[in-house]
Structure 1
């Protein structure tokens, strides 16, 4: 794992997940926010969004699956790597994580914990894909997060439905290394 990414999460476990230009402006104005998950944009606007995040001195992580105009193929990661200043990617697709690792980008493999099969899939993927972090959604399941943290060697980020101090504390106490949230209130904790 790249030490800069790990250090940033350790310095502030709250990660700003942005989905609008208003979110971008807000999070860039909060010095304590070190990492930004970019959950919006398209191939025409992505470079400008990433530049704003980088100009604010933050780590820019692009959620490949949510950017308009990008395919689900490895060439999408190549585009992000060569056409933006993004530090890394977030995706639900293991093949994109593998490609980003080849390009020495930070990686977050996102999982939706819908059932026990999804839980088991996380345990299996950690060995073959080896992302820097695994993000689990929804992040408001402390007992499940705790169980997962004991089973996998990869650091966990809790995301989805994290909207107040209590859910942040519960996720971190359960063993998550960080939390991602779209809540401006959480960003300022």
Structure 2
């Protein structure tokens, strides 16, 4: 699966926080879904429903209740949820996901120049399939990061509220954006 090509063709990602968002994402044009909620009892069903609707599913492993975000959790999710990949803030999870044949999106929060430097270092060391930069409205950060991490796709996430935010993030070098704003899922 060429993730970069998928993001280029589907630049708006449905970030799903609850059951209502599942329904809205299924009705939307968004092909990719970031699942940002769930628990050990329902995550397999959430992934199954989305996959049956033709969605590409990434689970934010750090946010699943009842699972510790570690290698065993990833193996469990791969076996029982069958998602396409994970999202995580933890570098060791990126490495283990790759070993399991899962795509891994590394989420980085950039709040100052040190976190930017550390984020770039971790991305280069771990080679995730993609990087989600938070906050997504930080086009200056994306511009700075883009040449340093080369071909790893950047996803802008957080505080994306209108089409202008989408366009600014994409113009800055992001290949996709993730948002919980339903009206943008049909852009």
Q: Residue 57 of structure 1 aligns to a residue in which SS?
A: coil
- Corresponding position of 2:11: 13
The number of residues matched between the two structures is: 186
**Does structure 2 retain, via aligned residues, the 8 Å contact 1:111–1:134?**
yes
- Corresponding position of 2:162: 164
- Corresponding position of 1:176: 174
The one of 144, 147, 151 equivalent to 2:148 is: 151
Bigger mean CA deviation after superposition, 62-71 or 138-147: 138-147
Give the alignment's Cα RMSD to 1 decimal. 1.0
Runs of 5+ consecutive residues of structure 1 not aligned to the other structure: none
The one of 32, 35, 38 equivalent to 1:35 is: 32
- Corresponding position of 2:101: 104
Runs of 5+ consecutive residues of structure 2 not aligned to the other structure: none
Per-residue deviation, 1:8? 2.0
Instruction: Verify: 1:77 aligned to 2:112, yes or no.
Output: no
Q: Which string of whole-angstrom CA distances, capped at 9 and with x for unpartnered residues, describes residues 93-137 of structure 1?
A: 111111110111111000111111110012211222110101010
Structure 1: how far apart are the matches of 2:84 and 2:110? 26
Q: Residue 162 of structure 1 aligns to a residue in which SS?
A: coil
Structure 2: how far apart are the matches of 1:84 and 1:6? 23
Q: What TM-score, normalized to structure 1?
A: 0.95
- Corresponding position of 2:59: 62
Q: Residue 59 of structure 2 aligns to a residue in which SS?
A: strand
